[in-house]
Amino acid sequence: MNELEYLKRAFDKERLAHAYILCGNDENKVQESAQEFVRYINCAKRSENSCKECESCLAIDGNRFPDLYRVAPHGTEEESQWRAEIKIGQIRQLGMSLSRAAWNAPFQVAIVEQAHTMNVEAQSAFLKLLEEPRGPVLFLLLTKHEFVLLDTIRSRAQQLACWNFTARPEQARSLEEFQKLQQVSLHERFVVAKELAENPSRISVELEKWLYAARAALMNTLKEKADGSSLSKMLKTVRAIQEVSAILARTNSNARLALERLMIEF
C-alpha cells in the first residue's frame, strides 16, 4: 500500500489524522499525491480515484477551490531559488484563512510545500496551528528533509514515506560517484568540499544527488540485512546531508566549513 492508498483508506474509514508529513525525493510525485488526495475527498463522483472532471476536481486543479490553502517558499529576486523560505507572515496569513468556516467541504485543507524551508519563526507559528486548530482542518506537509522540521511538529503529524528509487541513468551515476567519494581519503573529500564551496550554484544540486544516493544506499543496507552499525552509519549520513542542506539554504553559514563537516560523516 503506497502513501496515497493509505490516505484514501483512512478517509474512507473516517480515521484521518489532522496532519501528515509526506516525505519523498520526487517533488512532483509528492505534490501529485497530495493533489489527488484533496481531489478524492472532495470529488462528487469518486470511486477508487477522483474523477478529475467534476466541479470540485476542476476547481482544485485550477487553484480555485475555496477550502484549499497552499503555502510555498519564496525569496527576493536577489536570492537564489534554493535560499527561498517560508516566513512567519505566510503562516500567520494561513492561520487567519483557516479561522473562517469551510465553504462546502467536510474540512479545510492546508498544503505546505517544501515544508523544510519554514524558518524557525514560521515553524513555531505553525506548531501553534497544529496545537490549536480552529476547526476541522487537514494539514499536508510536503518535504524531502523531514529531519529539518521541529521534533514537536513531527510528533504531532503522521509521517508517510514517498521515496522513489527507480534508477534512472543519472541517478545510477550519482550513486556510483557517492560510493567513490566515501572510499577516498578525507583530504580528497576536503578538496571536493573546497571546489564545491567555490561554486555556490552547484551546492544544492550536488547535495540533492548525495541525498538520493545516501537514501538508496540506506535501502540497500536494509535489503541486505547488514549489521546494525552499517545501518546506523548510513542513517547518520542521510541526516547529516539533510541538515547541511537546510543550514546552507536558510542561513549565511560558511559553505566550505559546513561541507567539510559533512565530508567527515562520509
Q: What is the pLDDT of residue 56?
A: 94
Q: Could you tell me which of 23, 155, 43 has the C-alpha nearest to residue 106?
A: 43
Mean pLDDT on 37-61: 93
Residue 115's pLDDT is: 93
- The proportion of the chain whose per-residue pLDDT surpasses 90, expressed as a percent, equals 44
Q: For 108-134, what is the mean pLDDT?
A: 91
**Which residue would you say has higher pLDDT here, 240 or 234?**
240
Rounded CA separation 230/258 (Å):
24
> Which has the minimum average pLDDT: 22-36, 66-80, 161-175, 225-239?
161-175
pLDDT digits (tens, 9 = 90+) for 141-177: 999 888 788 889 999 999 998 766 555 556 667 777 8
pTM of the model: 0.71
CATH class held by domain 3-161 = alpha beta
DSSP 149: S
Residue 27: strand, helix, or coil: helix
